[in-house]
């Protein structure tokens, strides 16, 4: 797909979004009739190798790969389905142009788009496997017993197993690699009340790290959905979205934001029919899409509001640049520590004292223009203000989140740059590369308490990839990460 088509498609999509927002919900066709079942998406770790959930999945993947060769423009083909998420191949037919490279990352549609994608994918697997009761399982890596790749995906580790993919980082295909606690912790996203902050933390701090750790096809958004484990990873992310809502206390989806609820997204159903679906139609997984997750509490029922309400948004007020010029996290497995100039910070904090921060406001560390030439295949835990000599622990108040490259910022594929171009909002500063925002109010408070003042402050990037046989896998990252700019500022819900 050339740049023109991309831009044009993006424009068309934006236009249709605006149009439907203008006319309210009435322009949308009545919901397609489909038989709702109550499908249970099961925890893959509890399934035996002979469970039909796994055998039917494998059979469907094999059948879909057949279509790749016998009928390459068939939307039920494996590569075709993966291309809806992302692909390096040029899209040729009108259908391909309308549906490929559509994954939503760094946007408020991250959760809703992937829910839609999984929903149609699940229906397709049901059809292609001939297993009418099939439901997509989830990779429950929140459980400490499920930190390795589910065994059906590497047993046997050869081409006779449709769920096996050669192209994964070392250790995943023999059961020796596992995920660190910090890669899968939900403490930060679940602590967030605001949807924007929640999806952001879930995407950046947890979802991206799993992609990075497993690596190979999973390490790039343009290839990730070619690995059958992708769908179990996202099934779990989708489950966590439900779980977050059940924590209540003001947690809710943006169901009063017409730009979120009415934006149409295009997929194919199991009959190869092109379909569009909106945020309003996927709010209640059980009622609207017919599935629940094994072991989940009763789903929260939300309904779209058919009127416009002002939706709060995050305003970011930059305070100062933390260190001059770009820094690099070189391709060696080492902690990188950088000293923060705290003088301007102390001056700002006299006006906005930490103790009087309002809910929804936080001092933030913003790393921008982040990029690497390749997928580094590791991620970093980011800390602020660890007292000298203390070992970094992600449960400590000094931990502010992770740095993992997945949906963008990786330069080694031309097409990747194009979709990068298309996906990343251009800021006033023309900043089109990846940026990461870490809330640091808690870390600053802890650092002040530990040291008695805020004079010396370090940011530490601690490398993490996977564990190999329970010990840190200290292989060097496969790329240097460049961080163009680091600022401290204030983030405020307005
Ligand atoms: Cu759109 Cu986990 O990827």
* Nearest alpha carbon to residue 210 among 241, 180, 187, 244: 180
Evaluate: CB of 490 within 6 angstroms of ligand 1.
no
Domain boundaries, the chain: 3-293, 314-493
Residue whose token pair is 């006319």: 23
How far apart CA 305 and CA 257 sit, in angstroms, is: 8
Which atom of ligand 1 approaches the CA of 104 most closely? 1
Evaluate: CB of 224 within 6 angstroms of ligand 1.
yes
Token digits for 43? 């925890």
How far apart CA 64 and CA 387 sit, in angstroms, is: 54
Residue 447 alpha carbon to ligand 1 centre in Å: 35
At residue 433, the pLDDT reads: 66
pLDDT in tens, the chain (494 residues): 333 333 333 333 333 333 333 333 333 434 444 446 689 999 999 999 999 999 999 999 999 999 999 999 999 999 999 999 998 888 889 999 999 999 998 889 999 999 999 999 999 999 999 999 999 999 999 999 999 999 999 999 999 999 999 999 999 999 999 999 999 999 999 999 999 999 999 999 999 999 999 999 999 988 999 999 999 999 999 999 999 999 999 999 999 998 899 999 999 999 999 999 999 999 999 999 999 999 999 999 999 987 777 777 889 999 999 988 899 999 999 999 999 999 999 999 998 899 999 888 999 999 998 989 889 999 999 999 999 999 999 999 999 999 999 877 887 654 444 544 444 443 333 334 688 999 999 999 999 999 888 888 999 999 999 999 999 999 999 999 999 999 999 999 88
> How distant, in Å, are the alpha carbons of 116, 255, 291, 465 from that of 22?
23, 16, 32, 46
Secondary structure (3-state) at 371: strand
CB 338, CB 459: distance < 8 Å = yes
Please provide the size of the chain in residues: 494
How far apart CA 304 and CA 279 sit, in angstroms, is: 9
Give a three-class secondary structure readout of 118-141. Answer: HHHHHHHHHHHHCCCCCCCCECCC
Query: CB count, 10 Å around CB of 413?
Result: 15
CB 27, CB 20: distance < 8 Å = yes
How far apart CA 461 and CA 436 sit, in angstroms, is: 13
CATH code for the structural domain at 3-293: 1.10.1280.10
Cβ-based neighbours of 466, under 8 Å, separated by 6 or more: 169, 171, 172, 177, 178, 179, 180, 213, 473
| Angle subtended by helix axes 3-23 and 414-423, to nearest 10 | 20
Which atom of ligand 1 approaches the CA of 230 most closely? 2
Evaluate: CB of 103 within 6 angstroms of ligand 1.
yes
How far apart CA 222 and CA 452 sit, in angstroms, is: 48
Cβ-based neighbours of 348, under 8 Å, separated by 6 or more: 319, 320, 488, 490
Helix residue ranges per DSSP H, 142-247: 181-184, 187-191, 195-201, 208-214, 229-246
CB 250, CB 193: distance < 8 Å = yes
Evaluate: CB of 237 within 6 angstroms of ligand 1.
no
How far apart CA 126 and CA 132 sit, in angstroms, is: 5
Evaluate: CB of 123 within 6 angstroms of ligand 1.
no
Burial (0-12, 13-18, 19+ Cβ within 10 Å), 399: buried
Which atom of ligand 1 approaches the CA of 105 most closely? 1
CB 234, CB 430: distance < 8 Å = no
Evaluate: CB of 211 within 6 angstroms of ligand 1.
yes
Strand order in the sheet with 177-178: 177-178, 467-468, 471-472
How far apart CA 268 and CA 119 sit, in angstroms, is: 10
- Nearest residue (CA) to ligand 1, atom 1: 103
Token digits for 47? 């399934």
Which atom of ligand 1 approaches the CA of 233 most closely? 2
Give a three-class secondary structure readout of 193-205. Answer: CCHHHHHHHHHHH
Residue 292 DSSP code = E
CB 494, CB 315: distance < 8 Å = yes
């Amino acid at each position: 797909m050339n740049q023109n088509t991309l831009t044009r498609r993006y424009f068309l999509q934006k236009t249709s979004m605006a149009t439907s927002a203008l006319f309210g919900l009435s322009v949308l066709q009545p919901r397609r009739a489909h038989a709702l079942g109550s499908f249970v998406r099961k925890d893959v770790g509890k399934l035996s190798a002979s469970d039909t959930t796994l055998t039917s999945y494998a059979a469907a993947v094999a059948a879909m790969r057949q279509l790749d060769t016998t009928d390459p423009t068939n939307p039920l083909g494996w590569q075709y389905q993966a291309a809806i998420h992302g692909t390096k191949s040029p899209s040729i037919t009108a259908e391909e142009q309308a549906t490929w490279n559509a994954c939503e990352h760094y946007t408020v549609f991250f959760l809703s788009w992937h829910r839609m994608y999984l929903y149609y994918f699940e229906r397709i697997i049901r059809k292609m496997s001939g297993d009418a009761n099939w439901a997509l399982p989830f990779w429950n890596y929140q459980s400490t017993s499920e930190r390795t790749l589910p065994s059906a995906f590497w047993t046997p580790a050869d081409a006779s197993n449709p769920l096996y993919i050669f192209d994964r980082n070392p250790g995943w295909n023999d059961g020796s690699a596992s995920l660190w606690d910090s890669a899968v912790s939900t403490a930060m996203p679940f602590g967030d009340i605001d949807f924007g902050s929640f999806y952001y933390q879930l995407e950046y701090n947890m979802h991206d790290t799993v992609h990075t750790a497993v690596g190979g096809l999973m390490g790039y958004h343009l290839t990730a959905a070619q690995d059958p484990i992708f769908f179990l990873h996202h099934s779990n992310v989708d489950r966590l979205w439900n779980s977050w809502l059940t924590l209540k206390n003001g947690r809710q989806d943006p169901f009063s934001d017409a730009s979120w609820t009415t934006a149409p997204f295009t997929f194919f159903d199991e009959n190869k029919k092109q379909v569009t679906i909106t945020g309003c139609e996927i709010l209640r997984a059980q009622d609207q899409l017919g599935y629940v997750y094994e072991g989940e509490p009763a789903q929260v029922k939300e309904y779209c509001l058919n009127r416009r309400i002002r939706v709060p948004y995050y305003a970011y007020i930059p305070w100062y640049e933390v260190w001059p010029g770009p820094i690099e996290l070189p391709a060696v497995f080492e902690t990188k520590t950088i000293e923060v100039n705290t003088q301007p910070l102390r001056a700002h904090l006299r006006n906005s004292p930490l103790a009087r921060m309002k809910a929804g406001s936080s001092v933030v560390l913003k790393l921008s223009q982040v990029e690497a030439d390749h997928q580094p295949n590791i991620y970093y835990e980011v800390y602020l203000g660890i007292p000298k000599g203390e070992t970094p622990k992600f449960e400590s108040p000094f931990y502010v989140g992770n740095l993992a490259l997945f949906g963008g910022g990786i330069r080694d594929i031309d097409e990747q740059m194009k979709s990068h171009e298309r996906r990343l909002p251009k800021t006033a500063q023309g900043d089109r590369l990846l940026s990461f925002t870490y809330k640091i109010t808690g870390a600053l408070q802890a650092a002040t308490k530990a040291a008695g003042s805020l004079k010396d402050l370090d940011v530490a990037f601690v490398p993490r990839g996977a564990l190999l046989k329970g010990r840190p896998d200290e292989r060097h990252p496969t790329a240097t990460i460049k961080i163009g700019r680091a600022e401290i500022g204030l983030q405020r819900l307005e």
